[in-house]
Amino acid sequence: MSENSQFRFGAATGVGSMPGGDAREAAKTVTGTFEDFPFLPELPARGPGADMIGRTAGMLVELYARVEPSGWRLGDRPGRDTKRARSWLGEDLDALEEFTQEYEGPLKVQAVGPWTLAAGLELRNGEAALSDAGACRDLAASLAEGLRQHLAELRRRIPGAQLVLQLDEPSLTAVLRGQVKSASGYRTHRAVDRQVVEQTLRDLVGVHTSGPVVVHSCAPDVPFALLRRAGAAAVSFDFSLLTERDDEAIGEAVEGGTRLFTGVVPGTEGPLSDPAGSVMGVRTLWRRLGLSPGLLAEAVTVTPACGLAGASPGYARTALAHCARAARSLADNPE
């Protein structure tokens, strides 16, 4: 079993992003819905600096980024974009702290992982940082220090929380396969060696010494085995993108103590089945893998398929509540 297998994860939580721009309303929704596993909401609708890449760029230490027409670009000094990102993060932390007074239990916070960050941040020449091995190393080191400071701030604000760090890596498969497009769009950056990818992730996972790390990707072909070797205690993914090719890796992950954050509730507007129907595929997978139904509650956290930034506030609230009910259904009727 993995060293974090005894950690008490909650039965359901969200991925990260929420619609709208009201930090207090988002924190109130999240803490009210997931009383045993809230998360720090992200509100990208506020604009640059609240988006996934900009928010994490604001956490970097001794590296700064600014918004260009083509996206986020590394620069020499902190400008208004960095300050805006840090201000919004502070606002989100204030709101979460307000609604987690006396809270004790798991609490999830998210940041972009090193490889999606390297694919999403530009160097001065306009190419992705991914194109330069030295820049990737510098970025990962800066991110590691920024995450240490971020986690320390959270421990100070919410001392009873057991922090879970989620690294968002939607570009990871593209990085491994050499599918990240160059600035011109006419070619792609070469694939990064799998051992380099794994070691960099292992170093980032090692930053969070007091709790588990979950790696999230809502892209197809999540590299489960690589993430496990890198030390991820849990893997978060869009359940609808699984194929039977993933069966062996998932079976090994569960048997090795890795938790699955199964994204079974659609992240965008649409009709929802009943809660039991939403987790029917998880039960089917369990039977196909020959796993004990009794393991389900121990091994699975129910989430939306991806972030909810593109949903209406009403649907986002419904989707999160649906995750909580679906998790109860799975625990009550594992067969």
pTM exceeds 0.85 for this model: yes
Coarse DSSP helix, strand, coil percentages of the chain, rounded to the nearest 5 percent: 45, 15, 35
Helix (H, G, I), strand (E, B) or coil at 228: helix
For 97, counting Cβ atoms within 10 Å of its Cβ (0-12 exposed, 13-18 middle, 19+ buried), the class is middle
**DSSP-assigned letter for residue 48:** T
pLDDT digit string (tens) for the chain, length 335 residues: 344 456 889 999 999 999 999 999 999 999 999 999 999 999 999 999 999 999 999 999 999 999 999 999 999 888 899 999 999 999 999 999 999 999 999 999 999 999 999 999 999 999 999 999 999 999 999 999 999 999 999 999 999 999 999 999 999 999 999 999 998 888 999 999 999 999 999 999 999 999 999 999 999 999 999 999 999 999 999 999 999 999 999 999 999 999 999 999 999 988 898 999 999 999 999 999 999 998 898 899 999 999 999 999 999 999 999 999 999 999 988 77
The residues near 262 (Cβ < 8 Å, ≥ 6 apart) are: 237, 239, 279, 282, 300, 301, 302, 303
Return the number of other C-beta atoms located less than 10 Å from residue 169's C-beta: 28
- In the structure encoding, which two tokens stand for residue 193, read together? 């060696």
Quickly tell me which residue has 């930053």 as its tokens.
207
> What is each CA distance from 61 to 200, 201, 322, in whole angstroms?
17, 18, 38
